[in-house]
C-alpha cells in the first residue's frame, strides 16, 4: 500500500488504474448515445449532479420571461441552479402540491403556462420518498415542448 501511494504521488497518476479509462469512457458515451438515440457527440459525461444541472441551466439560450418550474422543497442541488437564472430575467416558479413531495402529472399540468420552458424535478423526493411518474410527466411535457 505504501509503495502504491508513494508511486502515485511521485508520478501524479494512478498508473495501472488509469489504463483503459479513456477507452471505458468512450465506450460508455457510445452506449449512452445508442440507448438515447443520440449522436456520440451529443453525450457528455459529467461528474456530480450539481455540475450537470449547472451546465444545463447556464447552457440553454434563455430569454427574459421564460419560466422554469421547480419544486421548492426539492434537494437544493435541483433548486439553486434554476434560481440563479432569475438574474437573467427567467421567472422561477415553485410547484405547489397538497403534501410534501407529492408531485403528480396533474399538479404539473395545472401549473404550466405558455412561458414554461423547463420543468426540473427529482425522481424521488429526498425527504418524503415520493417517486414521481417520470413517464407520464415526460409525455405531458414533450407534448407541450417543455424540457424535462
pLDDT digits (tens, 9 = 90+) for 2-29: 665 556 555 555 556 677 888 999 999 9
pTM of the predicted structure, to 2 decimals: 0.78
Q: Does domain 48-143 have CATH number 3.20.20.370?
A: no
Q: pLDDT tens across 60-89, in order?
A: 999 999 999 999 899 999 999 999 999 999
Distance CA 148, CA 68 (A): 10
The tens digit of pLDDT for each residue in 86-129 reads: 999 999 999 988 888 889 999 999 999 999 999 999 999 888 88
Residue scoring higher pLDDT (1 or 35): 35
Quote the pLDDT of residue 66.
98
The residues, ordered by sequence, that sit 6+ positions from 19 with a Cβ below 8 Å of its Cβ are none
pLDDT on residue 135? 96
CA–CA gap between residue 55 and residue 60 (Å, rounded):
9
Q: Alpha-carbon distance 127 to 147, whole Å?
A: 25
For residue 5, the model assigns a pLDDT of 59
Task: Considering the chain, tell me which residue range(s) the CATH 3.40.640.10 domain(s) occupy.
Answer: 48-143
For 126: left if phi > 0, alpha if psi spans -120 to 50, otherwise beta; the answer is alpha
Q: For the purposes of burial, counting CB atoms within 10 Å of the CB of 2, is it exposed (0-12), middle (13-18) or buried (19 or more)?
A: exposed
Amino acid at each position: 500500500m505504501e509503495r502504491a501511494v508513494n508511486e502515485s504521488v511521485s508520478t501524479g497518476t494512478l498508473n495501472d488504474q488509469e489504463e483503459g479509462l479513456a477507452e471505458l469512457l468512450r465506450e460508455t458515451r457510445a452506449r449512452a448515445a445508442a440507448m438515447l438515440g443520440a449522436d456520440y457527440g451529443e453525450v457528455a459525461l459529467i461528474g456530480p449532479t450539481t455540475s450537470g444541472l449547472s451546465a444545463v441551466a447556464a447552457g440553454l439560450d434563455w430569454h427574459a420571461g421564460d419560466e422554469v418550474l421547480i419544486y421548492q422543497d426539492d434537494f437544493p442541488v435541483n433548486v439553486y441552479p434554476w434560481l440563479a437564472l432569475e438574474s437573467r430575467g427567467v421567472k422561477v416558479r415553485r410547484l405547489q402540491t397538497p403534501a410534501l413531495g407529492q408531485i403528480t402529472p396533474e399538479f404539473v399540468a395545472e401549473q404550466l403556462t405558455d412561458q414554461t420552458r423547463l420543468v426540473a424535478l427529482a425522481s424521488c423526493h429526498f425527504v418524503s420518498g415520493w417517486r414521481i411518474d417520470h413517464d407520464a410527466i415526460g409525455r405531458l411535457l414533450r407534448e407541450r415542448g417543455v424540457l424535462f
